[in-house]
Structure 1
Amino acid sequence: MKFSKLQKGITLALSFSILAACGGSSSNDSETVVDGGTTGGGTTGGTDNQWVANEFKAKEDFANKCAIVRTGSDPYTGEVYTDTAGTLTDEKMWLRSWNHESYLWYNEVDDVDPANYDTPQTYFEILKTFAKTDSGADKDNFHFYQDTAEYRERTQGGASSGYGIRWRFGSTTPPRELFVVQREPNSPAALAGFNRGDQILEVDGVDLINGDDVDTLNAGLFPQNDGQTHTIKVKDTFGVEKTLTVTSGSYELAPVKATNTFVHDGKTVGYIQFDTFSIADAQTDLIEKFTEFRNANISELVVDLRYNGGGLLALSSQLAYMIAGDVNTNNRNYYTLKYNGKWSEDQALGFYNQEIDWDNSRFTGVDLPTVALNKVYVISSGSTCSASEALINGLAGIDLDVVLIGGQTCGKPYGFVPTDNCSTTYFTIQFSGVNAKGFGEYSDGFIPKQNPNFQTEIKGCTVSDDLTRPMGDISEGMLSTALYHMETGSCPTVKATKAVKQAGLSKQITGPAIHVPNNRFEQMIENNAIITPIKEATK
């Protein structure tokens, strides 16, 4: 199936839980991460426009009227800024009208006077539903904003700043437990010698486990700027203690971190760890790896999405095609976007089978490689979100045999169009998504079950992350569980608990791997969804 339209940058977001609260404060002030405290602040804006309850002017009346006017052009997109002189009230009134027009649950938002809020950002935080799901979770846990310059740098440049560590807290209050889940290649963390499974003992001489100097702990774990040097004492998975010196800095994000091809039980198995759909350049890595899998004639595939919080839905569609091939996907819908009935018509996406020229919003005419399998093993956790969940749901929608290994996913069947106004990019839920069978209600996540009974239950095995082994190692807990299931069709009984005990941890770690990065975009975007409008494409 060849497509004449390309949905550029359709993204479903990256799952994330800030330690204070999932989907918590999106203020630009610093946040205390270890004990969950937060602070906020703002300045009072003007009152040039009169608020009348339940009367909404067109958002265009207030668009780009800014208290602080930008000049020049965006360094990443080249687009000339269109800001004009305005007030904070103009910015808040734009938010109110834009949100009322496009928010998926606009009729569940209380219309509150914006004059009661000091800044557009604090006002934005209440422009959402506060309803709960059946499980008691927030219905909208994905409402946030990002400084536009930071957002452009992250999405257009693929770079990040900090140490390049994905952390996991077992406890954020004494006695605390904090572990290194993984590190970015060639990052400050990699150069300093951090490894998967390291337990943090001290930060700049302060006891992390029982110490009360949380300011020092947070400053050392989550530096706010490049060039900050800290010493961190760790204990590795063998019980050896060492003190590492690390300096914060820029590094490239690597969406594909581990791959492997091997023979198991007489079958050629391909394994790929894929950590984010948010970087368009990941297309190149996926094409390279799936070309290798195809040439190796693999008969089984494990796609490791345990840390993949989502990103570009177009990239997710490409990966789905590379797994399933033409016979399974031809003339089938991958994902259908469902809007609020007044902002946009529903939009169906097919399985994208060509390379994408992201700069020009078009297909290149070059076909993607595919392994054309009828079954795929997906490794998951609470950090598996959005575009990753769309992959699971989209493949299940065409009756591909999806086997889920790991933990319950985050529950993110929603998305949005990141929208800029006056130096801030806002993200508000604007669509839900369904697969080819019309199913999309997994707001509490997909659950691996040996004997599934419901659509949110996917055949598979529940198993905890194994920090004692490198990713892609066939003895690593989650991957070895997938191999066991390939061989027997059933789940092992004690593998996860055994793996944790081998690590010498004081208790089993559960829940999502908490990545507390060092820039605002990553702090708030994991667990959210992004989409940009469809553009006509020519080949």
Structure 2
Amino acid sequence: MKIEQPAIDIRMGRIGRTVLSATLALSLAACGGGGGSSNTATGGGGSQSTAQCAISNQIAFADDVLDEWYLFPNLLDNTVNANNFTTVQDFLNARVAPARAQSRDKGFTFATSIAEENALISSGSSAGFGIRLSYDTANDRVFLLETFESAPGFAAGMDRGTELLAIGTDAGNLQSIASLMATGGPQAVIDALGPSNAGVARVIRFAQVDGTIIEANVTKTDFSLDPISDRYGALIIDDGGKNVGYLNLRTFIISDAADQLRDAFQLFNANGVTELIIDFRYNGGGLVSVSEVFGDLLGQGRVGQLWSRTILRDSKSSENSNEFFENEANALQATKIAFITTGNSASASELVINSMLPYLNADSVALVGANTSGKPVGQFGFDFDACDLRIRAVTFQTVNADEQGDYFTGLAGTVPNTCRATDDISNALGDADEASVSTALDFLAGRSCTAISGKTDDTLAQRERELQAMRPEQPSAAQFEIPGLF
């Protein structure tokens, strides 16, 4: 994507031509790139580094970031006393509480590890079982939404639709999921699974979709997250003799997703695809740069036209930028697109949908499944290198070529057509018989469907009926970006 003026490298923790104000520059650290810069604090030795990383100093750094860069300065609580907090995240939560109360910042401002996030972005590196978990609070049950093929969960026999039955550190102390959920809810299950560290082992009893019960000793390992599955990430679905392209993008956070998207669109072009199903149902967002490549691949014939605008707070308006469609060798111009979404679809996935709306006829685009999360804002990363601390603060909003971008309650009220569908975990992703895919095919074929309401009250009730992605109280860098990952 071409940018109208030099601007901040969105989401990569780097401030391009801008330096922080004197307040931040004189603080413990300025904000540099992923690998640091000349004005980024670099920890000294022993006691100096320990003193520098005192929690009060880390909180002071976070406070300065919010004061200078936060997108909604009038929605910061300026009465918060930093001395009352022992963690950076608790301090951030308190400072942005007014924005959260207005659904402007639903956990989008957070503290994370520079090293962990950089490893995730560069190679998809994570540690765990490599499974996405969801829970059904009405029945105290836990199911897998998805597994990552290179991870130990998949090797043990877990896959989409698997139900967890019991967890223990050994076969002699297994605790049933029902008892864990009854006594402590989803967090009790998360605690039983142990920390997200390589080498952590658990005995897990689970039931596969066909009813087969397996009890396995599974050890968490370091593995690479593949943004587009080799099994079902990019498929050609034969719908009555018509080739429909199916694309499931798990996350935008891994930089390699851009090249994998190019490969998927090469497949679609080779098969004469003009209609697409784009499955964002578990996509929590990630790199805006990857979303721009996605837009380019959908932009045949639109090179040079406006894709999106990035807007910062008034005091940083010099950093506002326009992004335009660029040429991509495998770009296509789809005649119809069905976007599959759930309440877990957020950020960059919503940006792609919203940015495409001005270029699609009202009868050629639909939202299928459930309403999206509602995150038309994004974060820059501010690094305190000495302490491996990155503050991801909400700093910008994106709007499309029609200046639309206020979908804080989700996109169901914005997209011209919506079709309600369940997330059918009994069938594989990409399967034409899976409920959301089947409904998407119905829309593409011109068949009728039941609409998703964009009203806030209905949206909340609807989400309560969905399987909810599990999230720990203190998520890792990967868990912030990839809903339900363990």
**Normalising to structure 2: TM-score of the pair?**
0.81
Alignment pair present for 1:126 and 2:94: yes
Alignment pair present for 1:474 and 2:474: no
Counterpart among 245, 254, 259 of residue 279 in structure 1: 254
Other structure's SS at 1:284 match:
helix
Other structure's SS at 1:154 match:
helix
Higher relative contact order (CA 8 A, sep 6+): 1
Other structure's SS at 2:95 match:
coil
Q: What is the distance in 1 between the residues matched to 2:448 and 2:219?
A: 46
**How far 1:99 sits from its partner (Å)?**
1.2
Structure 2 spans left out of the alignment, 5+ residues: 14-20, 169-173, 452-463
Q: What is the distance in 1 between the residues matched to 2:338 and 2:474?
A: 32
Alignment of 1:399-410 (within 5 A): 399=360, 401-410=364-373
Q: What is the distance in 2 between the residues matched to 1:95 and 1:141?
A: 15
Structure 1 spans left out of the alignment, 5+ residues: 14-55, 66-72, 355-366, 448-453, 494-507, 528-539
Q: CA 1:426 to 1:139, structure 2 compared with 1: closer, same or farther past 3 Å? A: closer
The percentage of counterpart residues that share the same residue type is 25
Q: How far does the alpha carbon of each residue in 1:135-178 deviate from its partner, in whole angstroms, 9 at most, with x for none?
A: x746543121102222222222321100000001012x8x5110
Whichever residue aligns with residue 164 of structure 2, its letter is I
Q: CA 1:126 to 1:389, structure 2 compared with 1: closer, same or farther past 3 Å? A: same
CA contact (8 A) 2:2 2:323 kept: no
CA contact (8 A) 1:318 1:351 kept: no
Other structure's SS at 1:416 match:
strand
Counterpart among 334, 337, 347 of residue 320 in structure 2: 347
CA RMSD of aligned residues (A): 3.1
Q: How far does the alpha carbon of each residue in 1:178-222 deviate from its partner, in whole angstroms, 9 at most, with x for none?
A: 001110012101111102101111112211113578698444424
Q: What is the distance in 1 between the residues matched to 2:55 and 2:167?
A: 41
Q: CA 1:526 to 1:218, structure 2 compared with 1: closer, same or farther past 3 Å? A: closer
Q: What is the distance in 2 between the residues matched to 1:218 and 1:483?
A: 36
Counterpart among 461, 466, 480 of residue 510 in structure 1: 466
Mean Cα deviation higher: 345-354 or 301-310: 345-354
Counterpart among 30, 34, 58 of residue 23 in structure 2: 58
The residue aligned with 1:23 is none
The residue aligned with 2:281 is 306
Whichever residue aligns with residue 77 of structure 1, its letter is G
Q: How far does the alpha carbon of each residue in 1:243-302 deviate from its partner, in whole angstroms, 9 at most, with x for none?
A: 232111011101111221132133211111111111111111111111111111112111
Alignment of 1:13-412 (within 5 A): 58-64=23-29, 77=35, 82-83=41-42, 85=48, 86=52, 88-111=55-78, 112-131=80-99, 137=103, 139-171=105-137, 175-204=139-168, 205-211=174-180, 217-257=189-229, 258=232, 259-326=234-301, 329-345=302-318, 347-354=320-327, 367-399=328-360, 401-412=364-375
Counterpart among 436, 451, 468 of residue 401 in structure 2: 436
Q: How far does the alpha carbon of each residue in 1:326-361 deviate from its partner, in whole angstroms, 9 at most, with x for none?
A: 2xx23321111111111242533334435xxxxxxx
Equivalent pairs counted in the alignment come to 438
CA contact (8 A) 2:134 2:467 kept: no
Q: What is the distance in 2 between the residues matched to 1:516 and 1:115?
A: 26
Q: What is the distance in 2 between the residues matched to 1:388 and 1:126?
A: 28
Q: What is the distance in 2 between the residues matched to 1:291 and 1:407?
A: 29
Q: What is the distance in 1 between the residues matched to 2:81 and 2:36?
A: 36
Q: CA 1:203 to 1:517, structure 2 compared with 1: closer, same or farther past 3 Å? A: same
The residue aligned with 1:10 is 10
Other structure's SS at 2:425 match:
coil
Q: CA 1:410 to 1:458, structure 2 compared with 1: closer, same or farther past 3 Å? A: farther
Q: How far does the alpha carbon of each residue in 1:445-485 deviate from its partner, in whole angstroms, 9 at most, with x for none?
A: 112xxxxxx5x244120111011111111111111111122
CA contact (8 A) 2:3 2:322 kept: no
CA contact (8 A) 1:308 1:384 kept: yes
Other structure's SS at 1:415 match:
strand
Q: What is the distance in 1 between the residues matched to 2:238 and 2:87?
A: 58
Q: What is the distance in 2 between the residues matched to 1:202 and 1:230?
A: 10
**How far 1:119 sits from its partner (Å)?**
4.7
CA contact (8 A) 1:517 1:523 kept: no
The residue aligned with 1:31 is none
Counterpart among 478, 488, 491 of residue 446 in structure 2: 488
Whichever residue aligns with residue 510 of structure 1, its letter is E
Whichever residue aligns with residue 93 of structure 1, its letter is A
Q: What is the distance in 1 between the residues matched to 2:8 and 2:121?
A: 13
**How far 1:88 sits from its partner (Å)?**
4.6
CA contact (8 A) 1:158 1:253 kept: yes
Whichever residue aligns with residue 75 of structure 2, its letter is E
Q: What is the distance in 1 between the residues matched to 2:108 and 2:402?
A: 25
**How far 1:12 sits from its partner (Å)?**
10
Q: What is the distance in 1 between the residues matched to 2:125 and 2:422?
A: 30
**How far 1:519 sits from its partner (Å)?**
5.9
Other structure's SS at 1:418 match:
strand
Q: CA 1:196 to 1:91, structure 2 compared with 1: closer, same or farther past 3 Å? A: closer
Q: CA 1:264 to 1:161, structure 2 compared with 1: closer, same or farther past 3 Å? A: same
Q: What is the distance in 1 between the residues matched to 2:59 and 2:265?
A: 47
Q: What is the distance in 2 between the residues matched to 1:248 and 1:262?
A: 35
CA contact (8 A) 2:275 2:335 kept: no
Q: CA 1:526 to 1:243, structure 2 compared with 1: closer, same or farther past 3 Å? A: closer
Q: What is the distance in 2 between the residues matched to 1:93 and 1:3?
A: 33
The residue aligned with 1:521 is 477
Q: CA 1:425 to 1:523, structure 2 compared with 1: closer, same or farther past 3 Å? A: same
**How far 1:124 sits from its partner (Å)?**
3.0
Q: How far does the alpha carbon of each residue in 1:27-66 deviate from its partner, in whole angstroms, 9 at most, with x for none?
A: xxxxxxxxxxxxxxxxxxxxxxxxxxxxx9722121329x
Q: Which structure: greater helix fraction? A: 2
Q: What is the distance in 2 between the residues matched to 1:425 and 1:197?
A: 35
